[in-house]
Copies of this chain bind each other. A is one copy, B any other.
């Protein structure tokens, strides 16, 4: 703190809020109409300029910025005191609104036509020079922003994120309350849930040696609320997963969680489409077109190589397996013989890609386990392609025909196990769209993915595991495959995908105890294990559980997509780093020895 500020602190900084001063307006609301009015404003000094014997201050509060002027003619004491003002000082002023002088209006500010001539000033607090400018485009590392989060959140862009998030939650609660949903708080200190990620544990002092788990989701509780006859439950709720923090995850995250009784899939789809339509209309001014597209898991994989397709652009995959079966080209032929697929992707006007671009793409493809990726540039005079010579001209023509290829296009080919073909071409598809800027801005393309497989084979554990969770209902028409061919059983699960990101997922649940037991059996969960882990759910299913289903949305991610933020950390007030630490508070931290003693636990770093 500089000397001037120090002396000021003693002399004239208010100890308490000046009694009787009441804010008349915020800093975003004054217009020419207010000219001549006496006003009281409060806020932070954005900047101070001294010019022609006057002192100009941009005063900022959460609603905007207003220019205030200190003129010794208007009030000598206020003008004198204003010399002490620095950036981020907190002040209250009384003054008169007036039109700015000819040519001095600032069209970038909502209040740019006026200024306030001050006749009384109170300094409410002083401020050190902040470590970065309180402006939207501040050049500073994220770690400094996180350490000084209380300053970072002063930036208008961050305040806008928090306000949009608030309004989204508010609209969400309104929407569901209007439709008879009851928000019920489920416990945070609870028992392990079966979501599959690691639980955060909480030692119990009263029950030494026992631990609570923080919920990965309220899945069991919301099903129990259906058994309890609540019929329509919703909650915006914190959930916890102790995952290795890849990419853009947080140890605690927020979920919109809901569950309904006496419904089927269409009821959920309609409800959610109505909800998102209201959010997007109110917050972004966009009309969503409903119903959203629906794609079966199988179709999504076949056409886009992924169950999270980005539908803002085409570049669909085409199956060539039947065409190339038994052809001379060994790579294609053998892939088909081994039960694999041969698929292709056509990039219109892709012939402009350089040889280096193509090499990079092939390397990229190899990251997903592909042995290689072939390509062919379609020239007016035929194929330019390393594999052209292996393919009969008639086969080449048949391929171009099916691909609807034109001169100037480029075709990419993958021949491998279906999983590898889809994952690779799916990612190549997205990468091409990004690289060539094929993704239109400001578009939101939703799609429901349905009819997921119920089970997948886990080679490590040598057993079937649930693709979603063990309470997901199988499709009635596939029930007979449960014993004969479990991988063929489709589930009644559904995901909602937005622009290539899964934003929500849910299912119709099993409501019959006998079916739930049968599924546990297929999953290799023995009677004892089922009883230990989910005994209370199995009990509940015996006492008259209604048919029910639900869905959950990652609220942070949805808000991120709606604000255009690049990280969920930018839409969370106090987020953690990838190492799960809070740079501001220093959490987690070393506990007091006595605390651990009381909890009957010891730290033992050797044991690991």
Contact = CB atoms under 8 A, between A and B. Distances in A.
Nearest to A549: B17
Interface string A193-213: 000001111111111111111
A207 B150 CA distance: 25
A159 B546 contact: no
Contacts of A61: 229, 231
A162 B184 contact: yes
Contacts of A591: 201, 210-211
Given A170-B177, A229-B154, A582-B187, A588 B207 contact: yes
Interface stretch (A111-119, A276-284, A378-386, A507-515): A507-515
Interface residues of A, number: 135
Contacts of A211: 588-591
Contacts of A572: 185
Nearest to A163: B182
Given A182-B166, A188-B188, A598 B608 contact: yes
A205 B535 CA distance: 29
A455 interface: no
Contacts of A229: 44, 60-62, 153-154, 159
B581 A150 contact: no
A570 interface: no
B44 A515 contact: no
B512 A252 contact: no
A88 B585 contact: no
Interface in A239-257: 240, 242, 244-245, 251-252, 254
A124 B547 contact: yes
A258 interface: no
Interface in A1-56: 1, 9, 13-17, 19, 23, 42, 44
A262 interface: yes
A530 interface: no
A186 B574 contact: yes
A389 B152 CA distance: 75
Given A229-B61, A229-B62, A542 B128 contact: yes
Given A184-B166, A189-B240, A603-B209, A15 B542 contact: no
B588 A262 contact: no
Contacts of A166: 177, 182-184
B264 A19 contact: yes
A90 B16 contact: no
A149 B62 contact: no
Interface stretch (A98-106, A219-227, A348-356, A440-448): A219-227
Contacts of A169: 183
B16 A473 contact: yes
A582 to B, nearest CB: 7
Nearest to A209: B603
A163 to B, nearest CB: 6
A139 interface: no
Contact of A587 (B185, B191, B262): B191
A9 B188 contact: no
A231 B41 CA distance: 13
Given A42-B546, A262-B23, A585 B190 contact: yes
A487 interface: no
A318 interface: no
A163 B181 CA distance: 10
Given A16-B508, A607-B600, A225 B153 contact: yes
A496 B219 CA distance: 37
A226 to B, nearest CB: 9
B252 A187 contact: yes
A125 interface: yes
Interface in A450-467: none
Contacts of A512: 13, 15, 125
A544 interface: yes
Nearest to A604: B602
A401 interface: no
Contact of A580 (B148, B206, B581): B206
A415 to B, nearest CB: 40
B162 A230 contact: yes
A102 to B, nearest CB: 33
Contacts of A192: 589
B607 A240 contact: no
Contacts of A125: 511-512, 544-547
A1 B512 CA distance: 14
Nearest to A244: B206
A576 B191 contact: no
A263 B17 contact: yes
Contact of A262 (B92, B130, B245, B576): B92
A479 interface: yes
Residue from A16, A126, A600 whose CB has the most chain B CB atoms within 10 Å = A16
27 contacts: A1-B542, A16-B264, A16-B476, A17-B263, A44-B544, A125-B544, A127-B543, A127-B544, A128-B543, A151-B228, A153-B228, A170-B177, A189-B587, A198-B205, A198-B598, A201-B591, A207-B579, A207-B580, A207-B588, A208-B603, A210-B588, A210-B589, A212-B587, A220-B585, A221-B573, A225-B573, A601-B601
8 closest A-B pairs (Cβ-Cβ)?
Answer: A127-B544, A153-B228, A88-B544, A210-B588, A17-B547, A191-B587, A204-B588, A150-B227
Given A128-B542, A185-B238, 20 more contacts: A16-B473, A42-B546, A62-B231, A124-B262, A125-B512, A150-B225, A150-B543, A153-B229, A162-B230, A163-B182, A185-B254, A186-B573, A188-B214, A189-B240, A191-B582, A202-B202, A202-B588, A206-B579, A209-B590, A600-B608
